[in-house]
Amino acid sequence: MGTSRNVERRTILKAAGATAATLGLAATTGCGGGDGTSADGTVTIRYAWWGGEPRTIAIKKTIALFEKKYPKIKIKPEFTDYEAFWEKFQTQASGGNPPDVFQNAVGFLRKYDKRGVLMDLKTQADAGNLSLENFRNGVLANGQVDGKQIGIPVGANTMSLVIDLKAFEKAGVEAKFGWTWDEYFDALQTIQDKLKIAGDTGYFSIMYLYDLYLRQNGKAFFTDSDLGFTEDDVTQWWADGYKRVKSGLVADPKKIEQVKPKSGLSAGLAASEFTWDNFSIRYQGEGESDYGLAPIPTTDGKDTGQYLGSLMLSAFSGTKHPKEAAQFIDFMVHDPEVGKIMGYDRGILATTEQYDAFKPTDPNNKGVSAYEDEVAKAGVLGKITPHPSGADVIEAAFLRIGGEVAQGKTKPADAAKALFSEAKAAFAG
């Protein structure tokens, strides 16, 4: 990447810090009854998110700033880990009582838009309560569905390859921008031969990585309403992956399970792992080596299939306080002080106001920022793949079924049939 285009640029690529992924917090209860307005005109709105303790500490600081600026609006926080968040949210949405404002992601937009849960925030932008200006690199489009703005990005990230820098250096292999999948697997073979460890922790169960591979080959994981690939396509993907498990190039899935919640990469079971770039903070805190961000392998030596994903804020369509909810979202995505407090916890800051205000000083945040800058400069970023209603269910199925293939419990062709069957049910739900 950049001038040297390799992973030796440690000042840029080094990942540091402790994991927040394993630090869960219990959810608080929602506001019961009423419309959240007190006798003196003070409005209370509920704000819910998922994430670890560092995120929660930072968000509570930003809430305090907002309440100081808007003394007549009080924020009631609700927070938990990812899985529990969506279990609770589904129950709340079904009961007509979701939070007024909540963290969201692309896999859930169409699902809850289809159910009438999400507010079209363009109406609040038109009313002057929310600005849709100054979003970086076209990321605002991630929150748009069928002409509606139902999510407002707070950060942006992209898929990356996290590598054990010491292992790659010791084996004498280099991750260059534009390298091919064949070159990637050849590098992992060299690592296996020289260091006697697996090259990868289990790439072929990651839906978003398979999406990149498909995009490199003129397809995509999803269309607007269906899967964008065939059973034969994914059968081949999983068959190739299973062969690499059997050969030892991909780590033994049983060993990967044994070290959880630690990553197989930071546990020393393999030399690389595909993940979102802003998740790279976990490895240095967990492992004993040095870790860095390396380029995504390609099919043609150029196109990585990458795009900017994002976490977003959405609002409940039935909120009693749409103006206040929009003002809160506006503050959270545009206020410079909020940007300084949140940093890159939820990805590279999405608006120019916050991006310019936060100057990363630690190696991890510098590395993530530099990685995204290099990917953007390479001109490979495309638009995000559409995610139809049911995408969240299919992502979980892809991970689970891919894991069954890795363990030899399910043959690739049978796994492909199972995935398509589950997808059909998810789309119909």
Residue 429 confidence (pLDDT): 77
The verdict on 342 and 391 lying in the same domain is no
The verdict on 409 and 354 lying in the same domain is no
Q: Which helix (H) or strand (E) holds 359?
A: none
In a domain, residue 80? The reply is yes
The verdict on 273 and 217 lying in the same domain is yes
Other Cβ atoms less than 10 A from the Cβ of 258: the count is 12
The verdict on 334 and 295 lying in the same domain is no
Nearest to 371 by CA among 163, 221, 207: 163
Let me know if 182 is exposed, middle or buried by CB neighbors in 10 A (0-12, 13-18, 19+).
exposed
Residue 124 identity: Q
Q: Which domain holds residue 289?
A: 159-305+385-428
Q: How many CA atoms lie within 13 A of 35 on its CB side?
A: 10
Whether the bond between 153 and the residue before it is cis, its omega within 30 degrees of 0, is no
Q: What is the bridge-based pairing of β-strands 43-50 and 73-80? A: parallel
Other Cβ atoms less than 10 A from the Cβ of 14: the count is 19
DSSP state of 272: E
The verdict on 214 and 111 lying in the same domain is no
In a domain, residue 63? The reply is yes
Is residue 162 within 8 A of residue 293, CB to CB? The reply is yes
The verdict on 133 and 73 lying in the same domain is yes
Nearest to 242 by CA among 257, 252, 231: 252
Other Cβ atoms less than 10 A from the Cβ of 247: the count is 12
What SS3 state is found at 14? Answer: strand
Chain segment 64-85, per-residue pLDDT in tens? 999 999 999 999 999 999 989 9
Helices 106-114, 391-406: crossing angle, 10 deg rounding: 130
Nearest to 305 by CA among 319, 315, 293, 295: 295
In a domain, residue 34? The reply is no
Strand partners, 75: 45
Number of domain units in the chain: 2
In a domain, residue 35? The reply is no
In a domain, residue 30? The reply is no
pLDDT at 32 over 50: no
In a domain, residue 70? The reply is yes
Domain of residue 88, CATH code: 3.40.190.10
The verdict on 147 and 64 lying in the same domain is yes
The verdict on 142 and 243 lying in the same domain is no
| pTM, two decimal places | 0.83
Q: Which residue has the tokens 């999803």?
A: 222
The verdict on 208 and 133 lying in the same domain is no
Chain segment 83-133, per-residue pLDDT in tens? 899 999 999 999 999 999 999 999 999 999 999 999 999 999 999 999 999
Chain segment 240-281, per-residue pLDDT in tens? 999 999 999 999 999 999 998 889 999 999 999 999 998 887
